[in-house]
């Protein structure tokens, strides 16, 4: 068995494949190739695609695509039950399609399958993920003057607040919610938390001004891959006015910032927890 070949990096929504395995216990179907984007069990920021798989006239409603792995001795593990890190020897990495209800009897290994992704859900999540990255880059830029030490740089060369402080990220259709911890370790790294707390409103305004300019640029956005399988490295790239941002990313994205009418954020600082809520309006 080989790692699943995936076509979602090219914004593909449908395709055909061969059923490799069916597991009725976990209610998943695995095919050799798929357009479905799976949720990453190690960093589940973007939900997996939903849609349908059709085999010999029988239809499987896919509630979400998830990561799976099968050992060399045939043991299947799905999602958070995967016991090894990606790349571990003796395991093959797959995309599994979690079915709603029981899987029809005609869906068996070796059968030809037609796969169709829910296009509206994919588009909303893709815009949400692109907006999330843009908001994080704009946040880094807006906080750049608050560093007394070098924390490392982000994809645009600004001090990497996102990389230092982000603790959770959740992407939904046309938006995202990110949480950042402003604790002792961040202050030791040289971040001026006190000045930030006193200027949150100004920082929010600066972020939104940057996002307005970026949306107006209608910059191209794309996924660049090192190969065709689910385990190959993928990166999001966007040709922003300040330069091309390139960020390792396993998700899906808008093809252009022209797909947005606007992207805005709101910042909420409570004690040492900063919550950034990002909202995108489709063009």
Output helix, strand, coil percentages for the chain, rounded to the nearest 5.
25, 40, 35
Name the pTM for this structure: 0.97
- Domain 5-117 fold is Elongation Factor Tu (Ef-tu); domain 3 (2.40.30)
1 — pLDDT class (breaks 50, 70, 90): confident
For the cut 80, the answer to whether the pLDDT of residue 87 exceeds it is: no
For the cut 80, the answer to whether the pLDDT of residue 22 exceeds it is: yes
Percent above pLDDT 70 for the chain: 100
What does the mean pLDDT of the chain come to?
97
pLDDT of residue 88: 87
* Backbone phi, psi, residue 155, to 5°: -70, -15
Residue 114 token pair: 């037609």
Residue 145 token pair: 């003057």
For the cut 80, the answer to whether the pLDDT of residue 279 exceeds it is: yes
Residue 58 token pair: 């029988």
Residue 55: partners with Cβ closer than 8 Å, 6 or more residues away: 19, 104, 106, 107, 111, 112, 113, 114
CA distances from 46 to 71, 162, 220, 242 (A): 26, 17, 21, 26
Q: Which CATH code, of 3.10.310.30, 3.30.70.270, 3.30.980.10, 3.40.120.10, is assigned to 121-282?
A: 3.30.980.10
The predicted model gives 4-25 an average pLDDT of: 97
């Amino acid at each position: 068995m080989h790692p699943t070949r995936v076509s979602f990096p090219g914004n593909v929504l449908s395709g055909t494949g061969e059923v490799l395995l069916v597991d009725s216990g976990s209610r998943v179907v695995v095919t050799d190739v798929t357009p479905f984007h799976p949720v990453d069990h190690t960093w589940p920021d973007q939900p997996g695609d939903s849609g349908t798989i059709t085999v010999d006239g029988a239809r499987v409603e896919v509630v979400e695509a998830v990561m799976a792995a099968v050992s060399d001795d045939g043991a299947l593990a799905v999602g958070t039950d995967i016991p090894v890190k990606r790349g571990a020897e003796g395991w093959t990495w797959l995309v599994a399609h979690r079915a709603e209800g029981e899987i029809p009897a005609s869906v068996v290994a070796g059968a030809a399958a037609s796969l169709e992704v829910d296009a509206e859900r994919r588009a909303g999540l893709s815009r949400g993920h692109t907006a999330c990255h843009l908001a994080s880059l704009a946040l880094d830029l807006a906080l750049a003057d608050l560093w007394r030490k070098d924390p490392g740089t982000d994809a645009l060369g600004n001090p990497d607040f996102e990389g230092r402080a982000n603790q959770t990220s959740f992407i939904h259709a046309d938006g995202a919610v990110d949480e950042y911890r402003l604790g002792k370790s961040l202050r030791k790294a040289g971040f001026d938390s006190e000045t930030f707390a006193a200027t949150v409103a100004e920082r929010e305004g600066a972020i939104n001004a940057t996002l307005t300019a970026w949306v107006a640029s209608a910059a191209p956005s794309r996924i660049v891959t090192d190969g065709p399988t689910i385990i190959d490295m993928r990166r999001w790239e966007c040709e922003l006015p300040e330069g091309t941002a390139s960020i390792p990313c396993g998700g899906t994205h808008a093809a252009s910032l022209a797909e947005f009418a606007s992207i805005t954020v709101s910042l909420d600082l409570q004690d040492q927890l900063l919550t950034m809520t990002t909202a995108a309006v489709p063009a």
